Structure formats: structure tokens, C-alpha cells
Amino acid sequence: MAHSLPNIADRSVVLGLSGGVDSAVAAILLKDANAKVQALHMTNWEDDDGYCTSAEDLQDARHVCEQLEIPLHHVNFSRQYRDRVFEYFLDEYRAGRTPNPDVLCNREIKFGVFRDYAKRLGGELLATGHYARTATIDGVPTLLKGADPDKDQSYFLHAISADAIGETIFPLGNLVKEEVRQVARDRGIAIHDKKDSTGICFIGERPFREFLSTYLAANPGPIRSLSGRELGQHSGLMYYTLGQRQGLGIGGRNDANELPWYVVEKVIEDNALIVDQGESPWLYSDSLLASDASWIAGPPAGLDSGRQLSVRIRYRQNDQACTVKNLGNQQLEVVFDAPQRAVAPGQFAVFYEGDVCLGGAVIDRILSRPNVDNPINAAAST
């Protein structure tokens, strides 16, 4: 079981302790490395309806710290989270896109205000329970994929700065999940079998549509086929993402075959949801436009004329070969070697070279689809 850490003996490390098994094992490994560990538990959402587990997580964090004899600090970043992450989340849905607020949470909160607070506690280094690794390559702090391909979280970390990476330890980077749980079991940590948290904390297990509708007014509109035929009504474009199959309410039609319907486009100006049946060619994209590009160690060489890299357009996707070209103003053109399914504006395109995570950008729109006309032109009229 390989979980060696750099030489951090007697160095002051502030660990983000969530109350889950991952950060608990990170604490164990830091203690084993003889670091001077302090734990810092964040509250990022003040919930009053029982869906978010923040109170339970805080209690679990306290029990871990008592068992490991680590001091625990508790800080409330709810205001910063609402201002820097949640407002972005709402703006993106308002625009009909599918955001990934976890990326902003890492950049703005965990490696932003949290990092600043950790330094005020005297922390030389920051640690978290993320499945990722760091290295110094040619004198530059570098983010690497985690050793466990099923848990690698470099996708969510791509927007943090090189300075932050240089001051961060990821104790779980060389472990797979079952090894982490085994460490917790061996050390008698009560939460060794605690269920992994999924999704966004402020949503928790609550119905997503119900949650979103409390902040944004739904705007129902037509569901149309590619030919412009109206098939039904959608509840609001914000509730759907490209490639979605469930929840359309248009199956079993007498005037169509039995193949499933998928969302293939949103026409914002007409408030129309465009669908097609089966593995439609409109589900696939040859290229995309991305904006707000951020590079951990600066833009890679060769982007102005196009650079061959690998990309992920969603978490847990295998790396996909592509050519990335800098268009200026932090905009990128990404051309895939092979067509990609269900490219969703609002998500992130994250770029890699081998195990090195280089950075990423927000997916703005699909530029081309293989061997088809633009579905917006085909579907915008009734």
C-alpha cells in the first residue's frame, strides 16, 4: 500500500477535514509523517431543511480529531460561497447552461479563502483529501492525476494556481479508494464505511427541480423535433442538459418509433428544447468553443497554431485526443480527433498531457457536428 508523503516532519500543515473518510485518512497519513497537523472544517451552506449533512459532518470531524489528537477549527464561508460560487451557479442555469460549481468551489473557497485562513492559523502547507498528486517539473509546481483512475479529481482542481499547488499536499494521491477505507478500518476510524458524498452540498439528496425552482422562475416552452414538429412542453430549459434521456415525457408516441428521445439542443431565443431519437448524429460534436481559459503553469507552447493535447469534457471521462488552438481573449477552439457525445455548454473542458493536468476552460458552445447541418436552423421554426 503506497502512501508515502514528502518530508513534512515538524512542518505545520492545515488539513481541510470534511467529516468523510477521505480527509480522515489524509489526517492519519499526515500524522504518520510527523507533520504538525491542524484540521479546519468549513461550513459553506447554512441549510435549514435537513437535506445538507453539514451538522453531522462537523460531528464526525470532531470525533476524528479527538481520536487522532488533532486540534479542530471551524469556519463559516457561507457568504463567500454564495457570492463566488452559488451566484455563478444560478447565472449559468439562468442562461440555459449546465454549470459545474465544484470547480469554482475549489478555486474560490478551498484554495482561495480557505487557504488564506489556513495561513492565518500558521499553516505552511495546505492538505485536502482529494485524489490528485503534485510534482515540481522544471521548477514549476504541477498538478498530476490521482493514481486511482476511478477517483481522480484533477478535473475539479484544474483552475487553482501553481502557487497553491506548490503549497498543497494530497496524501491520498497514490491510493485507490479501497486502500483508503482499509487504512480507516485498521486505525479504528468509525466512519470507515461512511457513504461518499455526491453532488453539490447545498442540493444534497433533495429533488433538484424543486431546489432550483426556489431560486429561478421556470419558463416552460415547446419540445420540438429536428424537423420543427412540436412534441410536448418542457418545464424550463434550465432543467435539461444535452444528451439527457429521462424526464422528457414524450415517449410512447403513436407517430414515432420506440427509440428513446434525447435532448440534442437548446434554442435559447425561442425557449425551445430540441430532441431526436436514438443515437442521433446531433448528439455528437467535432469541435467546441471554450472561454475563460486558465492554465496552471501558463499556456502551453504552440497553442497559437494548434497544439495536440488530451481533453476531458466531463468528470470521469477517459482522455480524448484533440487539437487546441488559442483564439485570443482567453478563448480556445478544441477540435476532437473523434466525435464526442453530449458536449454540454457550461461544463469544463480540461486539458492533459499524459498525467499532467494543464488547465481548462468553460465550454461555450458546439462549433460543428459530424456530417449534419446545424440543428438550430432545422428546428427553430414550427
Q: Could you tell me if 40 and 131 lie in one domain? A: yes
- What is the average per-residue pLDDT within 149-158? 96
Q: Per-residue confidence at 377, pLDDT binned at 50, 70, 90? A: very low
**In terms of residue numbers, what domain contains 253?**
217-281
- What is the predicted pLDDT for the residue at 1? 44
Q: Is residue 380 part of a domain?
A: no
Q: Is residue 196 part of a domain?
A: no
Q: Is residue 7 part of a domain?
A: no
Q: Per-residue confidence at 33, pLDDT binned at 50, 70, 90? A: very high
Q: Is residue 211 part of a domain?
A: no
Q: Could you tell me if 61 and 177 lie in one domain? A: yes
Q: How many domains does the chain have?
A: 3
Q: Per-residue confidence at 229, pLDDT binned at 50, 70, 90? A: very high
H helices, E strands: number in the chain: 11, 17
User: Residue 214 and residue 347: Cα distance in Å, rounded?
Assistant: 23
Q: Could you tell me if 232 and 108 lie in one domain? A: no
- What is the average per-residue pLDDT within 286-297? 97
- What is the predicted pLDDT for the residue at 372? 78
Instruction: Look at 176-185, 211-220, 368-377 and tell me which has the smallest mean pLDDT.
Output: 368-377
Quick: pLDDT tens for 318-368.
999 999 999 999 999 999 999 999 999 999 999 999 999 999 999 999 999
Q: Per-residue confidence at 46, pLDDT binned at 50, 70, 90? A: confident
Q: Which residues contact 75 (CB under 8 A, 6 or more apart)?
A: 40, 41, 42, 43, 114, 117
DSSP character at residue 345: B
Q: Per-residue confidence at 201, pLDDT binned at 50, 70, 90? A: low
Whether the predicted pLDDT of 314 surpasses 90: yes
Q: Quote the Cα angle for 145-150-153, to 5°.
A: 40
- What is the predicted pLDDT for the residue at 255? 74
- Given 281, 311, 327, the domain boundary residue is 281
Write the CATH number for 345: 2.40.30.10
Q: Could you tell me if 134 and 254 lie in one domain? A: no
Q: Could you tell me if 35 and 24 lie in one domain? A: yes
Q: Which residues are catalytic?
A: 105, 201
- Given 130, 165, 186, the domain boundary residue is 186
- What is the predicted pLDDT for the residue at 373? 66
Q: Which residues contact 178 (CB under 8 A, 6 or more apart)?
A: none
Share of the chain above pLDDT 70, in %: 92
Q: Could you tell me if 267 and 289 lie in one domain? A: no
Q: Could you tell me if 119 and 265 lie in one domain? A: no
Q: Could you tell me if 135 and 224 lie in one domain? A: no
Q: Are 27 and 172 in contact (CB under 8 A)?
A: no
- What is the predicted pLDDT for the residue at 4? 63
Between the alpha carbon of residue 26 and those of residues 16, 69, 119, 299, the distances in Å are: 9, 14, 19, 32
Q: Is residue 351 part of a domain?
A: yes
pTM over 0.75: yes
Using DSSP, state whether 189 is helix, strand or coil. coil
Q: Is residue 161 part of a domain?
A: yes
Quick: pLDDT tens for 87-142.
999 999 999 999 999 999 999 999 999 999 999 999 999 999 999 999 999 999 99
Q: Could you tell me if 237 and 276 lie in one domain? A: yes
Share of the chain above pLDDT 90, in %: 81
Write the CATH number for 111: 3.40.50.620
Whether the predicted pLDDT of 378 surpasses 60: no
Q: Is residue 5 part of a domain?
A: no
Torsion, Cα of 42, 44, 49, 53 (10° steps): -40
Q: Is residue 381 part of a domain?
A: no
- What is the predicted pLDDT for the residue at 51? 58
Write the CATH number for 226: 2.30.30.280
Q: Could you tell me if 252 and 226 lie in one domain? A: yes
- What is the predicted pLDDT for the residue at 49? 58
Q: Could you tell me if 294 and 342 lie in one domain? A: yes
Q: Are 285 and 340 in contact (CB under 8 A)?
A: yes
Q: Could you tell me if 176 and 304 lie in one domain? A: no
Beta bridge partners of 347: 345
